[in-house]
Amino acid sequence: MSRLNIAEVAPEIYKAFLHTEQVISKGPLDAVVRELVKIRGSQLNGCLFCIDMHIHEALRLGETQDRIYQLSAWRESELYTDAERAALAYAEAATERPDGVSDEVWDAVAAAFKPEQAGYLVAQVAQINLWNRIAAPMHTLPPKRG
């Protein structure tokens, strides 16, 4: 059982976080890239609820099972584009250590994305880290499915 349901006990805060997520989802960053960085960030943060949610969302968007299976070892996989690799490298670096985004990682983002897309990538990574830092410590569990 979850320790606390933020949507119930702090609805205005939850609505603000949800609004930010909705704004990001309407931006210029590809939906599959958004879901890949959400899944990878959630894996790094150990957030089961978000891993489950975003894998299901990625599948709904047409993502393949093989790419999801290989996501935790994306560097070794041949299934990801250069843009996806840049986004995943950024997501990992910013999640593991916010000041750890090297020039090399950022240069790959800048080469793969237009500035506005890069801005939305930065926001998406920050946002999934926010959600992970709510759901994981509150022991929020995904719905039971078969």
Mean pLDDT to the nearest integer, 120-134: 98
In this predicted structure, what is the pLDDT of residue 139?
94
User: 65: how many CB neighbours lie within 10 A of its CB?
Assistant: 10
Rounded-to-integer distance, Cα 6 and Cα 123, Å = 21
pLDDT in tens, 71-123: 999 999 999 999 999 999 999 999 999 888 999 999 999 999 999 999 999 99
Range of the domain at 17: 6-135
The token pair that represents 36 in the structure block:
């890949």
Distance between CA 139 and CA 79 in Å, rounded? 32
Looking at the domain assignment, is residue 43 inside a domain?
yes
By CB atoms closer than 10 A (0-12, 13-18, 19+), residue 44 is middle
Residue 108 lies in a domain: yes
Question: Is 87 part of any domain?
Answer: yes
Say which CATH number the domain at 107 has.
1.20.1290.10
**What's this model's pTM, rounded to 2 decimal places?**
0.95
Q: At residue 1, does pLDDT exceed 90?
A: no
- As a whole number of angstroms, the distance between CA 128 and CA 53 comes to 12
How many domains does the chain fold into?
A: 1
Residue 146 is assigned to a structural domain of this protein:
no
- Residue 132: name the closest of 71, 68, 50 by CA: 50
Q: Are 36 and 79 in contact (CB under 8 A)?
A: no
Task: Name the helix (H) or strand (E) containing 107.
Answer: helix 103-112
57/131 Cα distance (integer angstroms) = 15
Tokens encoding 144: 């039971």
Please write the tens of the pLDDT for every residue from 30-53.
999 999 999 999 999 999 999 999
Residue 2: pLDDT band by 50, 70, 90 thresholds? confident
pLDDT of residue 56: 97
